[in-house]
Amino acid sequence: MKTKSNFKGKILNIEKIAKDTCKMDILSPMEKADAGQFISILCPNTTLRRPFSIANFENQIITILFKLKGDGTNYLSSLNKNDEIDFIAPLGNYFDIKNKKALLVGAGIGIAPMLFLKQTLNKKNIENYLITGFKSEDEMIKGSDETVVGGSVIDNLEKIIQDKKTEIIYSCGPIPVLKKISEISNKYNIPSQIAMEKIMACSIGVCRGCVIKIRKNNEIINASVCKDGPIFEGREVIWD
């Protein structure tokens, strides 16, 4: 397990890659990160740091993809090459990689951790197929094996599971999509690992503001998404 630290990084590149969506590469002294983990960035115009999944980490360069939402992400989009950025990382747990035929599902900006996971699986020569979905063509982000535009990533999922002889599903996206994926994976008796999202305050397991209910060893317990997650087994999450 890597210890989290507060880092200062330098922005190497920032660019718009789709409608209201930016990609940022940050040169950082951080030594290691795994797919599923996230960083929590200080935005001087907001009280709380903002969490973003690591979309890649290679040669000390962290890549994040972010969608413009409010003050924090608007501030980030105003930054330039060579600007300094303050963040805590690596945060949270990570995908527990199995040597099984993997289906990766990313809805919208949920593609971010899936790209890092795909890279990791490729390096380990583990067969994988990434399907992503976007509301419109101008929101599309590249890097998937299959992209659904306009519809939902769920629509064709059962057919893909069968065609690809899927043995495990990894996914990230809005809660209703994750819930549905978890139901489908249960139906086919396939394990699923999902990256949960919750609005976060501290991002480091202190405030308990990001708690969800999960079932572990037949007990219902409170788990914090930022520290115990963000990756959970689909079948252990208790969906509201």
Ligand X SMILES: Cc1cc2nc3c(=O)[nH]c(=O)nc-3n(C[C@H](O)[C@H](O)[C@H](O)COP(=O)(O)OP(=O)(O)OC[C@H]3O[C@@H](n4cnc5c(N)ncnc54)[C@H](O)[C@@H]3O)c2cc1C
**Using the rule CB under 6 A, is 51 a contact of ligand X?**
yes
Which two structure tokens, joined as six digits, stand for 153? Answer: 């990533």
Pick the stretch among 28-36, 68-76, 77-85, 95-103 that binds ligand X (CB under 6 A): 68-76
**Exposure pattern of 3-28 as b/e (b: 16+ CB <10 Å)?**
ebeebebebbebeeebeebbbbbbbb
**Using the rule CB under 6 A, is 68 a contact of ligand FES?**
no
- CB-nearest residue to ligand X: 70
Which two structure tokens, joined as six digits, stand for 91? Answer: 């945060």
Pick the stretch among 22-30, 90-98, 149-157, 197-205 that binds ligand FES (CB under 6 A): 197-205
Write the DSSP symbol of residue 237.
B
Q: Where are the beta strands (DSSP E) in 59-206?
A: 61-67, 84-91, 102-107, 128-134, 146-149, 168-172, 192-195
**Using the rule CB under 6 A, is 119 a contact of ligand X?**
no
Alpha-carbon span 146 to 171, nearest angstrom? 14
The alpha carbon of 210 is separated from its chain's Cα centroid by a whole number of angstroms, namely: 16
Q: Least separation, in Å, of the C-beta of 34 and ligand FES?
A: 19
- Determine which residue in the list 15, 31, 60, 70 makes contact with ligand X, applying CB under 6 A: 70
Q: Least separation, in Å, of the C-beta of 93 and ligand FES?
A: 13
Which two structure tokens, joined as six digits, stand for 175? Answer: 């809660």
Between CA 191 and CA 193, with CA 130 as vertex, the angle to 5 degrees is 25
Q: Least separation, in Å, of the C-beta of 199 and ligand FES?
A: 8
Q: Which does 65 bind (CB under 5 to 8 A by kind): ligand FES, ligand X, none?
A: ligand X
Q: Where do contacts with ligand FES occur on this chain (CB under 6 A)?
A: 200-203, 205-210, 224, 226
Q: Where do contacts with ligand X occur on this chain (CB under 6 A)?
A: 38, 46, 50-53, 64-67, 69-73, 109, 112, 197-200, 230
